[in-house]
Amino acid sequence: LYGHSAHMMCLVYRSINYPVYLDKFFPTYFKDGRSLQERLREMQEYFHLAVTGKMDKDTLNVMKQPRCGVSDVSEGHKAIGIWYKQVLTYRINNYTPDLPRSTVDRNIARAFRVWSDVTPLRFQKVFRRADIEIFFAHGAHGDGNSFDGRGKVLAHAYFPGPGIGGDTHFDEAEKWSEYNREVNLFLVAAHEFGHALGLSHSNVVGSLMFPTYTYSNPQFFRLPNNDRQRIQRLYGKYNQLNMSQ
């Protein structure tokens, strides 16, 4: 019986393809690389799991959670940029059929307000080329960073910079919702816009920039202190006096 259970667990591990998971979210940036076991230990430490370097149920459960497509570690030699202006434009290039266009507009605007409420940044929706281009897309969509189907990677965004920098893509394979059904658009958008502004992931449980998706009622959403402090280190605090001038 134990041998059968171990065989079934092995099949589950193969179905999640954990080397691919580690390559995507805990990559190595040096030619000599790191062993799979070393990167598995890094992943376990990051998610506050028992650090064994071996696959187990808790590690598997984390790998199976829906999440952001941005890596959990940054290239040590490559600084994450910021925007050097306070008014940023965004354009919604297409819409998910899951929600009315007005609902998408409202939730995207509210997700940007999460960050403008605590910094001097301001966001302006435009219908021309913008700093932050927003798309809903299936599978391969032209950026070399294909989506993987429903319930896995929900979205990804690019750190500030020219070209694709700041752009934010949502996986159309997901079922997008305004409430606690399937995937909440506001919560995912607020997280992704954090990346578009220059924030990497945080391993502080409960933070908005934690890599995996957890639903909380948007009606009562308040930006956690960890996220607020990190974004204010990049852009400073909201100053009502400056905003009124």
Residues with catalytic roles? 192
Residue 56, marked binder = no
On whether 32 is known to bind a ligand per the annotation, the reply is no
Give the SS3 label for residue 234. Answer: helix
Task: Confirm whether residue 191 is marked as ligand binding.
Answer: yes
CA end-to-end span of the chain: 73
Annotated binding-site residue? 201? yes
Helix, strand, or coil (residue 125): strand
Q: Binding site annotation covers 98?
A: yes
Rounded to 10 degrees, the C-alpha dihedral 29/166/177/147 comes to -40
Residue 217 tokens, joined? 């009622």
Q: How many CB atoms are located within 10 Å of the residue 26 CB?
A: 19
Name the phi and psi angles at 188, rounded to 5.
Answer: -70, -40
| Residue 48, annotated as binding a ligand | no
10 annotated among ligand-binding-site residues? no
List the structure tokens of 53. Answer: 């370097």
Q: Does the annotation place 141 within a ligand binding site?
A: yes
Residue 96 has phi, psi (to 5 degrees) of -70, 140
Token pair, residue 206, equals: 């409960």
Residue ranges for the known binding site are 68, 98, 131, 141, 143, 148-149, 156, 165, 167, 169, 171, 174, 191, 195, 201, 209
Residue ranges for the known binding site for Zn(2+) are 68, 141, 143, 156, 169, 191, 195, 201, 209
Residue ranges for the known binding site for Ca(2+) are 98, 131, 148-149, 165, 167, 171, 174
